[in-house]
A and B are shown apart, each in its own frame.
Chain A
Amino acid sequence: MENKAMEQLLKILENNARLPLEDIAAMLDKSTAEVSAMMDLAKAQGLIKGYKTLVDWEKAGADRVEAVIELHVSPKKSRGFDEIANTIAEFDEVESVLLMSGGYDLQLTIKGKTFQEIALFVAKRLSPLDDVLSTATHFVLRTYKREGRMFGAEEIDERECTVL
Chain B
Amino acid sequence: MDYDKLLAPAAVAMRPSGIRKFFDLAAEMPHCISLGVGEPDFKTPWAIREAGIDSLEHGRTRYTANAGLAELRAEIARYLQRRMELRYDPTQILVTVGGSEAIDMCVRALVAPGDEVIIPEPCFVCYDPITTLSGGVPVHIACRQEDEFRLTAEQLKAAITPRTKLLILPFPNNPTGAVMEREHLEAIAEVLRGTDILVLSDEIYAELNYGGEKHVSIASLPGMAERTIVVNGFSKAYAMTGWRLGYAAGPQPIIKVMTKIHQSAIMSAPTTSQYAAIVALRECDSEIERMRDEYNQRRRLVVKGFNDLGLECFEPKGAFYCFPCIKSTGMTSQQFCTALLEKKQVALVPGDAFGASGEGYCRISYAYSVEHLKEALRRIGEFLAELRAEKE
Which residues of A are interface residues toward B (Cβ below 8 A)? 8, 12, 16, 19, 23, 26-29, 157, 159-164
Complex A-B: 26 CB contacts under 8 Å = A8-B297, A26-B300, A26-B304, A27-B301, A27-B370, A29-B300, A159-B41, A160-B27, A161-B26, A161-B29, A161-B32, A161-B34, A161-B36, A161-B37, A162-B34, A162-B36, A162-B37, A162-B347, A162-B349, A163-B36, A163-B37, A163-B38, A164-B38, A164-B125, A164-B349, A164-B354
Shortest CB-to-CB span from B380 to chain A, Å, is 15
Residues of A within 8 A of B354 (CB): 164
Interface residues of B toward A: which range?
20 to 34
Map CB proximity to A onto B278-298 as digits: 1 under 8 Å, 0 otherwise: 000000000000000100011
- The 8 A-B residue pairs with the shortest CB-CB distance, nearest first, are A162-B36, A27-B297, A26-B304, A163-B38, A161-B34, A159-B37, A161-B26, A26-B301
Mostly, the A contact residues are loop
Residue B374, interface by CB 8 Å:
yes
**Pairwise interchain contact B41-A157, C-beta atoms closer than 8 A:** yes
Expressed in whole angstroms, the Cα–Cα distance for A164 and B305 within the complex equals 23
Expressed in whole angstroms, the Cα–Cα distance for A162 and B354 within the complex equals 13
**Pairwise interchain contact B353-A23, C-beta atoms closer than 8 A:** no
Residues of B within 8 A of A163 (CB): 36-39
Map CB proximity to A onto B328-361 as digits: 1 under 8 Å, 0 otherwise: 0000000000000000000101000110000000
Residues of B within 8 A of A160 (CB): 27, 37
Residues of B within 8 A of A16 (CB): 370-371
Residue B23, interface by CB 8 Å:
yes
Enumerate B1-41 residues with CB–CB distance to A below 8 Å. Answer: 23, 26-27, 29, 32, 34, 36-39, 41
Expressed in whole angstroms, the Cα–Cα distance for A8 and B37 within the complex equals 25
**Pairwise interchain contact B26-A8, C-beta atoms closer than 8 A:** no
Expressed in whole angstroms, the Cα–Cα distance for A162 and B297 within the complex equals 22
Shortest CB-to-CB span from B361 to chain A, Å, is 14
For A19, the closest partner residue in chain B by CB is: B370
